[in-house]
Amino acid sequence: MRFQTSRENQEVFSGNSDALSSLIEAYDASFTVCRDVGETGPERMAPPKVAEYIQKAFTGGNIQVSIIDDQNIIEKDFPLMAAVNRAANTVKEHQARLIKLEYLGEGETQDTFFVVGKGVTIDTGGCDLKTGGHMFGMCRDKYGSAVVGGFFKALDVLKPKNVKAIGYMCMVRNSIGARAYTCDEVITARSGKRIHIYNTDAEGRLTMLDPLTLAKEEALKAVNPHLFTLATLTGHEVLSYGYHAAIMDNGPAKSSGWARKIQEIGDIYGQPIEISRLHPEDFAFHQAECEQADLRQGNTKPSVATLRGHQTPAAFLQMASRIDEHGTDSQSPLKYSHIDMGGCSGDHPSVSTPNPLVTLVAGLILPRV
C-alpha cells in the first residue's frame, strides 16, 4: 500500500486549480454525507431512511449500492446484527438494513479496502438500559457508518485509480422491549463461533461482527486486502483520547506499518489519530467462562470501568470473525485495523466533526488520484 507524502500532495494541488477544486468538492460532499447520516435524529435517519438517503446520494455516480432489507436474510446470514435489532424489528420503520457500497477504480487493482461501520441509530442500551441521561446524543452512535458513507462519497467524486473498495453500513436500532436480546443468551455468529452475551449495551461489536466476517470471506479472494472496522464503540476510548480516534492493528497490519503512516498523515492534515496496541490479555479476556460458548462478548461492567476497555473489543472482533486465524504466521495473512472513534463526532447537539474522515481520505484515496 502506497502512502503519498505531504510534499507530493502539495505538488499535485499547488497551482492546479482544477485539482484543488476537485479536492474541495470531494471533501465537501463527503462531509455532507457523513453529517447527514451521523448527526440526524433516530427517526429522520432510522435504518430504512439511511438506506433511502444513501441510494439517492450515489445515484448516477461511481458507487454501486445494494441494500439487504429482508429481515429473514439478515436473521439467517447476520444473526448477531439481527439480535441487536430484535426489539426494533417490531416497528417497521425501525427494521435493520445492511447497506453495501462498492467502488472499482480504473486500471489494475493494487489494493482492496473493506470498511465496516457501526450504524446504531439510537442506543438505549437495550435491557442493560442507559440511565442518568447517558442516552442523550446516542443518535450519533451511527457515526462509524456515517464515516463509511462519507469515505465512499470521496471515492465517488475523486475516482482514484488501481483501487477497489467495499463498504458495509450496519444499520440497526438498539431498542428495549419484549423481544429485546438479553444477557445470558448464547448466539451463534456467521463464523460459527458461539457468543455469550454479557451486556446488551456492548451492541456495537455485535452489529459489525457478521458483516466483518463476510468481508473477511471476500478478502481472502481479493488483491492486497485490508479490513477496517469503524465505530463509536466505547466510552473508555473517549476517556483515553477525547475527540481523537484510536487505531488498533493486528499483526499483518502492524507489519505493514499502516498505523504509523496514517498517524503521520493525520498530523499533516490536522486530524490526529492515536495508536493503541493489543496484548495477549485482550484476547484472553474474551475466552468463554461457560462450556456452551466459545467466546464471551464482554463483561457486566461499562467499558470505562473495565481494564483496557477499548482494546479488548478489537481482540473480540478478530476472534469472533476468525480473522485471528489469518495472522502473520498463517498461509493467508489478512491486514485488519479497528478504529474506535468514540468521541470523534463531538458533543451532541453541537455540529459534528467528520473525524477521522479527513485523514482516511488523505491516506487511502489521495495517493491514487
Active-site amino acid positions: 130, 205
Q: How far is CA 307 from CA 243, 282, 310, 339, 347, in A?
A: 20, 9, 9, 18, 25
Asked if residues 302 and 219 have their Cβ atoms less than 8 Å apart, the reply is no
Asked if residues 203 and 303 have their Cβ atoms less than 8 Å apart, the reply is no
Asked if residues 154 and 30 have their Cβ atoms less than 8 Å apart, the reply is yes
Q: Pick the closest to residue 363 from 217, 65, 163 (CA basis).
A: 163
Asked if residues 139 and 85 have their Cβ atoms less than 8 Å apart, the reply is no
Helix-strand-coil split of the chain, %, nearest 5: 40, 20, 40
The position carrying cell 485523514 is 359
Q: Give how far the C-alpha of residue 31 lies from the chain's centroid of Cα atoms, to the nearest Å.
A: 16
CA distance 88 to 289: 29
Asked if residues 148 and 34 have their Cβ atoms less than 8 Å apart, the reply is no
The DSSP symbol for 85 reads T
The C-alpha cell at 274 is 492515536
The DSSP symbol for 351 reads P
The C-alpha cell at 237 is 476510548
The C-alpha cell at 226 is 485490508
Asked if residues 344 and 35 have their Cβ atoms less than 8 Å apart, the reply is no
CA distance 333 to 327: 5
Q: How far is CA 279 from CA 84, 202, 285, in A?
A: 28, 21, 10
CA distance 126 to 85: 10
C-alpha triplet 151, 153, 155: angle, nearest 5°: 75
Q: Which residue blocks in 79-121 are alpha helix, DSSP H?
A: 79-84
